[in-house]
Amino acid sequence: RKEVEQDPGPFNVPEGATVAFNCTYSNSASQSFFWYRQDCRKEPKLLMSVYSSGNEDGRFTAQLNRASQYISLLIRDSKLSDSATYLCVPRSWGKLQFGAGTQVVVTP
Amino acid sequence: NAGVMQNPRHLVRRRGQEARLRCSPMKGHSHVYWYRQLPEEGLKFMVYLQKENIIDESGMPKERFSAEFPKEGPSILRIQQVVRGDSAAYFCASSPGTASGNTIYFGEGSWLTVV
């Protein structure tokens, strides 16, 4: 089983709609989690950190289910600028192991 | 407070030449990570270093690739005798430590093209 698995998408989302997608991880020792976003030909940028059951930051909500070992990201009121690849990253010791990412395309 | 600085941003090398990519971590960060991203693919971990030590090089190809993070100066990712398949974006990241809450911040990347 891969350390991190994500639905690659793309998720085509009308502007203003809500989109949610999951990430499953295999290392039960992961203590914290990060969501990064990556735009085409750009570096990954931190979107959100999750240390407990979840986190909310504006239109973005992350929820962690440790029992089932998945973390979700929900984007409300999608903007065109939300179009990107979203990378789920469980954090334990040492390196960050990235999933392949979920592509989101917000359309007018 | 400068972020992670990488140079060169773009590098073109002929097959068989050497490529050297440099990375200066954020101020106060002593841990450096190198990732490679091939076109249309995800980020692949290559190597994790602290000052003067390689902590985890499980993602480094066995030949032609090496990395260092000397006591003074930037971290260097060195690729000898480059081949076309080495063409990729190489991202460096840094963190203050390895605790699970420590966030990793990325540089803007170095784009290597092998012709």
Higher pLDDT pick, B98 / B3: B3
Q: Is residue B1 predicted with pLDDT exceeding 80?
A: no
Cis peptide bond upstream of B8, omega within 30: yes
Q: What is the mean pLDDT of residues B65-88?
A: 96
Residue B85, classed as helix, strand or coil, is: helix
DSSP labels, B13-41: E-TT--EEEEEEPPTT--EEEEEEE-TTS
> Mean of the per-residue pLDDT values for chain B?
93
Across the strands, what pairs with A48? A35
Q: Is residue B100 predicted with pLDDT exceeding 80?
A: no
Closest CA to B69 of B49, B94, B93: B49
Measured in angstroms, the CA of A12 and the nearest CA of chain B are apart by 18
Nearest CA in chain A to B10: A41
Nearest CA in chain B to A94: B98
Q: Is residue B85 predicted with pLDDT exceeding 90?
A: yes
CB atoms within 10 A of CB A30: 21
pLDDT at residue A53 in the model: 84
Q: Say if CB B75 and CB B69 are below 8 A apart.
A: yes
Q: Is the dihedral of CA A54, B98, B93, B55 positive or negative?
A: negative
pLDDT tens figures, B11-64? 999 999 999 999 999 998 999 999 999 988 889 999 999 998 999 999 999 999
A interface test, pick of B38, B40, B92, B103 with most A CB neighbours within 10 Å: B103
Task: Report how far residue A78's alpha carbon sits from residue A15's, in angstroms, rounded to the nearest whole number.
Answer: 5
Nearest CB to B45: which of A32, A87, A97? A97
Task: Report how far residue A78's alpha carbon sits from residue A39's, in angstroms, rounded to the nearest whole number.
Answer: 16
What would the two tokens of residue A75 be?
């984007």
Task: Report how far residue A102's alpha carbon sits from residue A74's, in angstroms, rounded to the nearest whole number.
Answer: 12
Task: Report how far residue A96's alpha carbon sits from residue B98's, in angstroms, rounded to the nearest whole number.
Answer: 10
Q: Which residues of B touch A31 (CB under 8 A)?
A: 100-101
Q: What is the mean pLDDT of residues B80-104?
A: 88
Measured in angstroms, the CA of B60 and the nearest CA of chain A are apart by 13
**Regions of chain A with pLDDT less than 70:** 1, 92-93
